Each structure stands twice: as C-alpha cells, then as structure tokens.
Amino acid sequence: MEECGVTAAADPVEHEDRAVWLSPGVKGIGSASLLADIGHEIPTALLPSLLTSTLGAPASALGPIEGFSDALAGVARFGGGALADEPARRRNLAVGGYTATAVLSAAIAPATATWQVAILRAGAWTARGLRVPARNALLADVVPAAAYGRAYGFERAMDNLGAILGPLAAIGLVATVGTRWAIALSIIPGLMATLAIIYAIRHTPQPTPQPKRALRFHIRPVLTGRLRSLFAGIGAFEFGNCAATLLILRATELLEPGHGNDSATTIAALEARRPRAVSGARIRASRRRSQGRRERRFEDGPDCARLRGIGARTRTLASQASK
C-alpha cells in the first residue's frame, strides 16, 4: 500500500513537470527562432535575383559569396560556443547577434555593387553564427535536463516553420513592392526576434556570479570522446550540403525564359522549400511548357513563314531541275 501511495503521490508531480517545460522562456526562444528565420529567409530567397538581374553580376559570384559567408558562420559558431559558456556574456551575445543579423541582412537592399552584398551577407552570417550557441545555452537555462528533448524539439520546429514562412513572405512582398523593398522590410521580423529573445532572457533565472575565466577552446575531448562519430556524420552531411541560394538561382535561370524574372524568382523561392524530387519535376514541367509556348510562337511568326516560303521555292527548283 505504501508503494501505491508513493506512486499516486508522484504522478501529479510528473504531470506537473511535463506541463511546465513550455515556459515563457522556451516560448520566447521559439518565437525568436521563428521570426529570425522569416527575417533572413526573405533576403536568402531573393539574393540570386538581386545579384544577377538587378546588379548584373555573373551567376558565378553567388557561390563564393555563399561559401565565404557559410565559412564565417561556422567559425563564429565555434568561437561563440566558448563565449557562451559564461552566463552573463551569452545574454549579450544573443541580443547582439539577433539584432546584427536583422540589420545587416536588410542593409543588402540598397546595395549597388556585388562586393557590398558580399560584405553585408558575410557580416549577417557571422552574427548569426555567434548567436546560435548563446541561444542554445539560454534554452538549457530555462528547462530542466529531463525536458531538453522537448524544448529543443519545439525550438527546431519553430525554426523550420520560419524557413517555410520566409519564402512565402518573400513571394508576397516581391509581387507587391519589388525585390529591394522586400529585402529591406525583412528587418521587421528580424527586430521582432530581438524583442522575443529579450523577453526570453527576462524570464530566465539570473545567473550565479562566477569568477571570470580565460577564454579557452577544448577540442580534444570532443574529437576523442563519444561525440566523435556524431560529428563525423554531421561533417559528411555539411560537406555535401548545397546552399539554397544556388538552387534558387538555377531554378530562376530555368524558369525565366517562359515566366519573366519576377515570376521566375517567385516560383523558385517557393520551390526551393519543397522536397527536391517534387521541385525538380515541377521545374522541368514548367520549362517544357515554356519551350512549347516558344515553339508555337515561332510557328505562328514571320520567321517561320519565311522559312516555309524558302522551302517551297527550293522544292520547286529541285523538281524543275530533275525534269
């Protein structure tokens, strides 16, 4: 009976623990991930069109810009992880990272040269890399260890939702205000993400004062411990991972002859977030339709009529010669 009594008394506590993991701090961090992803997915979806159509840059410029930006983001995450180990510092990193990402991404809008886009994109991705470890550490501060899976799953779900809503917002903005203004307006959800992370920080327990420690990077324990195989798999995936902007650029090039630049950009931004097989099939079908329209226009046009006339005269001359 005592065991039953203990079990019955423990059940309400267990249910209460399950209910409190979705705290205001977790909701604030999830909202920050959602809004920040919407904010930087808008410039990401429109960057290929801005570079090639608006600024007249060659398509080959996009690869170095994205590659260099992603490399800086990786280095920033590595450094930001060590910086975020200090509780007080991680709060400033999170707020500064979200703010800088929003401002620098939106500042691409008035750019008049490719090198300006490259610098701003690299700066935005560096700030994004710095904020990620700080955000993850803050999330660990607001939930018990037993609820890490649920909390991080919620944050990832909100992030992925933002990755879907961002291109959709870009489509609507391009159709309404054009490419440059669409990129500029991305600062609104970006700064709202800053407010959301500040809200989360205010609902995070105050850190215990600790003596300042020298900044150190502990790499050997990670490479030699149980995480080694995990990091090997992640590294292999990232090595083969293609930047979404390159997919958008290729889709835009395929669709532009039959749809025009604005419509091609809109379709490409949307298709980049669909499963790859479905996107490829839709793009190929759209390309075949555009080729069919061009062929029909040619058949009905004056060039085709002239060719038919030349062919008829050639057949007549050939028949006369044979006689």
Give the pair of three-digit tokens for residue 183. 């990129």
Tokens 């990620």 belong to: 132
Q: Which residues contact 144 (CB under 8 A, 6 or more apart)?
A: 17, 21
Lowest mean per-residue pLDDT among 54-58, 199-203, 248-252: 248-252
Find out whether 251 and 268 touch, Cβ atoms under 8 Å.
yes
pLDDT bracket for residue 31 (50, 70, 90): very high
- Whether the per-residue pLDDT at 25 is higher than 50: the answer is yes
Over residues 145-195, the pLDDT tens digits come to: 888 889 999 999 999 999 889 988 998 998 899 899 999 999 999 999 999
pLDDT at 305 over 60: no
Token reading at 211:
């003596």
pLDDT for position 209:
62
Structure-block tokens of residue 135: 């955000």
Higher pLDDT, 209 or 275: 209
Q: What is the Cα Rg of the chain in Å? A: 27
Higher pLDDT, 299 or 74: 74
Per-position DSSP letters for 93-157, written without gaps between them = HHHHHHHHHHHHHHTTTT--SHHHHHHHHHHHHHHHHHHHHHHHHHHHHHS-GGGHHHHHHHHHH
CA–CA–CA angle 244, 245, 249 (5° rounding): 120
Q: How many residues does the chain have?
A: 323
**DSSP designation for 53:** I
CA dist 99 and 165 (Å) reads: 20
Q: Which residue has the higher pLDDT, 302 or 135?
A: 135
Closest C-alpha among 136, 8, 116 to residue 57: 116
Distances in whole angstroms, Cα of residue 74 to Cα of each of 5, 79, 249 = 53, 9, 23
Sign of torsion over alpha carbons 208, 209, 211, 215: positive
Rounded Cα distance, 257 and 236, in Å: 36
Domains of the chain: 21-205 (1.20.1250.20), 246-322 (no CATH)
